């Protein structure tokens, strides 16, 4: 639908507001509704009626039409235009553009050379596993490639867990562990409630009572509340209270049993002081089903009072909030949750049906709308073609419309942006969700992953990784536990905690000695602790022999020879790396092209050197990362422009959030060594080091204040 087909002042005014905010990536339906002085629901309805588009589709279309105009009338690159029209993700802009116009942005004007694409592998068996969701979304690269944004294979192997089936596990095994929980008095685990009814079909209702008790407690920031997935393994356990509490590292356990008989709910609650294995509060409730929300809220407040946890007025307001006044809608909702927890495509579809029935009973049931959106997210996850993106967005918007203070509503909207590869837009919704539910472990883990991969921020990556560890404990299997420790170790070493990182990479290998990603990372952590390049090269050669088809290890091995100025051996492995990329039709680590070019140059292959130098320049044109100035410096060094290089490094020295690998390997590069005689070299490179360690010390202080280390 083009601009010419829009009719009426309403659409013209809406289009005008969108164009005024075109570069604001966070400008969406809510913002447009505010400017139009109307409710979201009226805006959605009116846009749909006049354009046959949803409001989100309408906004996106205006952005794309503006992009087309800029392509025709300016010489801006595709990447620059994508950001000017409010797309934080260039590949997503290209995807939407192609879907709308039938051709790519590059094809829309002959003078623009279409940007090379990373070909994403088809997933042969896209089964949905809610516990272990593989993330292969956007791959971005920086000057130091090892684990800087994770490797492609690392994406495919690493466990990324969201919302319903979320796991990060931790055992407090020694007094000198980097992770310590200092106040067990305000930590609690809600054990699975027992169904006392002879009717097994009532289990969903009892599970719902347990879920609600857990959710209400999670809204209290002064409490550390263990996630449901971490306690589910104790549903039929023979372990004692003390054993469970020690494994979960909590001071209190909440046990419960219940049954529903017609319109009555019988609930038995017991709060246990784990250190004494003694109940400190027990209560039996016999309420009508219609009073179930009051019952759940009362239980949460009584527990907080018994533990002496501080509950703020805002938290109390969240606890007292009823999700719906319609008990039949709530019943369908609980059935939907039970289906959702089946962790299968069939279960998700059954869940959607029950959530839809809940909405039929209460059209403004925000959590039901949110859960449908979450189901659609799971149905689309791992799929290259997103079938349910619009439905996901529609239900997420509805949930926000009916309750903008529900963490579920905010998570649902964030998942829409994640599914659309617009990760930056997901962040404000996730951070807002933590305001309403500070114990929402799923949110913490999503943020940790985003800051690790697509919006690089080493400090936030580690902070959220540590927060997630405190809320989620006890892996169900050694493979998962190995990857959890791998992720934590990576976050630690990126921030300069090399000794602590070594502890957790060893834990990772203890749980799965065959985890090649852990042995790979351990080699670099050993280098961080001992600075022995010869040892690193020998270890990487051993890793490479385990799997000679891995592009990540092959180029890292090549780089160890390159750093030692052994260009002949470096070229052997760089050409193997190039062959892997060509065979698999992928384009990884474009920052490596400057090293490949210099290797060819040193060995006298001037034509090939020029080819890879030009590829590096193409990469720089699109690079908007925090490493851009450091990457520019490498270009200037290759061109024998030392003054420009030192100026670029001077600008880079003002950058925050760069990874420890920069400090460890920057001065090992032969190109950088050629700069060492420059009169400003020592001053500028000391500034880079000082900047990193200032941030490191500031982060360390912050983590201690938050009792994360």
Domain positions in the chain are: 3-108, 497-702
Confidence band for 496, pLDDT divided at 50, 70 and 90: very high
How confident is the model over 196-237, as pLDDT tens digits? 776 666 667 777 777 777 777 878 888 888 777 777 778 778
Collect all residues with Cβ–Cβ distance below 8 Å to 317 and sequence separation of at least 6: none
Question: What is the distance between the alpha carbons of residues 76 and 445, in angstroms, rounded to a whole number?
Answer: 37
Please tell me the predicted confidence (pLDDT) of residue 508.
Answer: 87
pLDDT of 177 strictly over 50: no
CB 414 within 8 A of CB 375: no
| Among 567, 554, 633, 651, residue whose Cα is nearest residue 605 | 567
Question: What is the distance between the alpha carbons of residues 359 and 611, in angstroms, rounded to a whole number?
Answer: 60
Counting residues of the chain whose pLDDT is more than 70, the rounded percentage is: 83
213-222, 269-278, 547-556, 627-636: least confident range: 213-222
Question: What is the distance between the alpha carbons of residues 6 and 654, in angstroms, rounded to a whole number?
Answer: 48
Please tell me the predicted confidence (pLDDT) of residue 555.
Answer: 93
For range 151-165, the mean pLDDT: 31
Please tell me the predicted confidence (pLDDT) of residue 140.
Answer: 26
Counting residues of the chain whose pLDDT is more than 90, the rounded percentage is: 33
First to last CA, the chain: 55
- CA 419 and chain centroid, separation: 11
pLDDT of 91 strictly over 70: no
pLDDT of 474 strictly over 60: no
Confidence band for 432, pLDDT divided at 50, 70 and 90: very high
Secondary structure letter of residue 86 according to DSSP: T
Ranked by mean pLDDT, the top range of 241-250, 295-304, 497-506 is 497-506
How would you classify residue 673: left for phi > 0, otherwise alpha for psi between -120 and 50, otherwise beta?
A: alpha
pLDDT of 170 strictly over 60: no
- Name 597's bridge partners: none
User: Who has greater pLDDT, 478 or 290?
Assistant: 478
199-203, 339-343, 510-514: least confident range: 199-203
What global pTM score does this model have? 0.59
How confident is the model over 67-90, as pLDDT tens digits? 888 888 777 777 678 778 887 666
How many other CB atoms are there within 10 angstroms of residue 201's CB atom? 10
- Name 253's bridge partners: 189, 272
pLDDT of 173 strictly over 70: no
pLDDT of 306 strictly over 70: yes
194-203, 319-328, 570-579, 584-593: least confident range: 194-203
User: Who has greater pLDDT, 707 or 167?
Assistant: 707
CATH homologous superfamily, domain 497-702: Tetratricopeptide repeat domain (1.25.40.10)
133-147, 329-343, 378-392: least confident range: 133-147
User: Who has greater pLDDT, 538 or 229?
Assistant: 538
Transcribe 455-478 into DSSP letters. S--HHHHHHHHHHHHHH----SSH
- Name 279's bridge partners: 272
Tokens of 409: 């509503």
Phi, psi of 505 (to 5 degrees): -75, -30
Please tell me the predicted confidence (pLDDT) of residue 592.
Answer: 93
Please tell me the predicted confidence (pLDDT) of residue 281.
Answer: 83
Question: What is the distance between the alpha carbons of residues 455 and 457, in angstroms, rounded to a whole number?
Answer: 6
79-88, 385-394, 459-468: least confident range: 79-88
Question: What is the distance between the alpha carbons of residues 353 and 357, in angstroms, rounded to a whole number?
Answer: 6
pLDDT of 133 strictly over 80: no
- CA 587 and chain centroid, separation: 23
CB 494 within 8 A of CB 521: no
Please tell me the predicted confidence (pLDDT) of residue 88.
Answer: 61
Q: What rounded mean pLDDT belongs to the chain? A: 80
Confidence band for 143, pLDDT divided at 50, 70 and 90: very low
pLDDT of 250 strictly over 90: no
23-27, 267-271, 468-472, 703-707: least confident range: 468-472
How many other CB atoms are there within 10 angstroms of residue 663's CB atom? 19
User: Who has greater pLDDT, 295 or 329?
Assistant: 329
| Among 224, 707, 178, residue whose Cα is nearest residue 488 | 178
Architecture of domain 3-108: Orthogonal Bundle (1.10)
Confidence band for 287, pLDDT divided at 50, 70 and 90: low
210-224, 326-340, 629-643: least confident range: 210-224
């Amino acid at each position: 639908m083009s601009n010419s087909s829009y009719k009426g002042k309403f659409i013209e005014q809406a289009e005008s507001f969108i164009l005024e905010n075109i570069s604001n990536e966070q400008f969406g339906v809510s913002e447009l509704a505010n400017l139009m002085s109307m409710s979201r629901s009226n805006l959605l309805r009116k846009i749909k009626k006049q354009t046959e588009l949803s409001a989100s589709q309408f906004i996106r279309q205006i952005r794309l039409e503006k992009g087309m105009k800029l392509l025709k009338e300016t010489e801006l690159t595709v990447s620059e235009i994508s950001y000017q029209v409010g797309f934080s993700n260039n590949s997503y802009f290209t995807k939407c553009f192609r879907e709308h116009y039938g051709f790519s942005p590059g094809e829309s004007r002959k003078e623009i050379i279409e940007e090379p694409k990373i070909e994403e592998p088809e997933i042969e068996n896209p089964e949905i596993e809610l516990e272990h969701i593989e993330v292969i979304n956007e791959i971005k690269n920086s000057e130091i490639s090892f684990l800087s944004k994770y490797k492609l294979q690392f994406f495919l192997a690493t466990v990324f867990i969201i919302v319903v089936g979320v796991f990060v596990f931790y055992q407090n095994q020694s007094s000198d562990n980097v992770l310590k929980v200092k106040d067990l008095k305000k930590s609690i685990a809600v054990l699975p409630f027992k169904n006392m009814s002879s009717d097994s079909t009532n289990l969903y209702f009892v599970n719902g009572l347990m879920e609600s008790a857990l959710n209400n407690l999670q809204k209290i920031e002064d409490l550390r509340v263990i996630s449901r997935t971490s306690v589910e393994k104790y549903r039929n356990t023979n372990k004692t209270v003390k054993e469970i509490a020690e494994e979960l590292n909590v001071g209190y356990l909440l046990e419960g049993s219940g049954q529903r008989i017609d319109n009555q709910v019988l609930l038995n609650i017991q709060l246990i002081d784990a250190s004494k294995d003694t109940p400190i509060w027990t209560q039996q409730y016999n309420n009508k089903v219609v009073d179930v929300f009051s019952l759940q809220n009362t239980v949460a407040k009584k527990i907080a009072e018994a533990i002496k946890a501080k509950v703020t007025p805002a938290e109390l307001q969240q606890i007292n909030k009823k999700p719906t006044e319609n008990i039949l809608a709530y019943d369908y909702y609980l059935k939907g949750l039970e289906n959702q927890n089946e962790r299968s495509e069939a279960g998700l579809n059954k869940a959607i049906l029950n959530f839809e029935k809940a909405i039929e009973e209460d059209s403004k049931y925000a959590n039901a709308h949110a859960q449908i959106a979450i189901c659609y997210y799971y149905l689309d996850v791992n799929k290259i073609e997103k079938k349910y993106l619009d439905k996901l967005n529609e239900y997420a918007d509805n949930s926000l419309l009916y309750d903008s203070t529900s963490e579920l509503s905010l998570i649902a909207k964030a998942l829409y942006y994640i599914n659309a590869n617009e990760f930056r837009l997901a962040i404000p919704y996730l951070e807002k969700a933590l305001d309403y539910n500070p114990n929402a472990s799923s949110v913490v883990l999503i943020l940790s992953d985003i800051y690790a991969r697509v919006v690089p921020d080493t400090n936030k990556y580690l902070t959220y990784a540590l927060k997630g560890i405190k809320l989620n404990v006890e892996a169900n299997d050694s493979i998962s536990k190995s990857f959890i420790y791998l992720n934590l170790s990576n976050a630690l070493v990126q921030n300069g905690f090399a000794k602590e990182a070594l502890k957790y990479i060893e834990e990772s290998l203890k749980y799965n000695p065959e985890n090649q990603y852990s042995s790979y990372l351990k080699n670099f952590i050993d280098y961080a602790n001992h600075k022995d390049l010869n040892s690193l090269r020998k270890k990487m050669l051993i890793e490479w022999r385990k799997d000679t088809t891995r592009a990540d290890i092959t180029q890292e091995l090549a780089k160890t020879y390159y750093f030692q100025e052994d260009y002949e051996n470096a070229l052997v492995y760089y050409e193997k790396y190039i062959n892997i990329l060509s065979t698999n039709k992928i384009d990884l680590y474009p920052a490596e092209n400057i090293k490949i070019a210099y290797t060819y140059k040193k060995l006298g292959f001037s034509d090939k050197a020029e080819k890879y130098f030009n590829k590096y320049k193409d990469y720089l044109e699109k690079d908007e990362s925090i490493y851009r100035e450091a990457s520019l410096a490498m270009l200037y060094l290759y061109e024998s422009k030392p003054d420009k290089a030192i100026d670029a490094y001077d600008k880079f020295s003002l950058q925050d959030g760069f990874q420890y690998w920069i400090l460890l390997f920057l001065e090992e590069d032969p190109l950088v060594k050629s700069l060492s005689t420059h009169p400003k070299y020592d001053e500028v490179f000391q500034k880079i080091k000082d900047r990193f360690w200032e941030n490191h010390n500031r982060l360390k202080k912050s983590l201690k204040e938050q009792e994360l280390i």
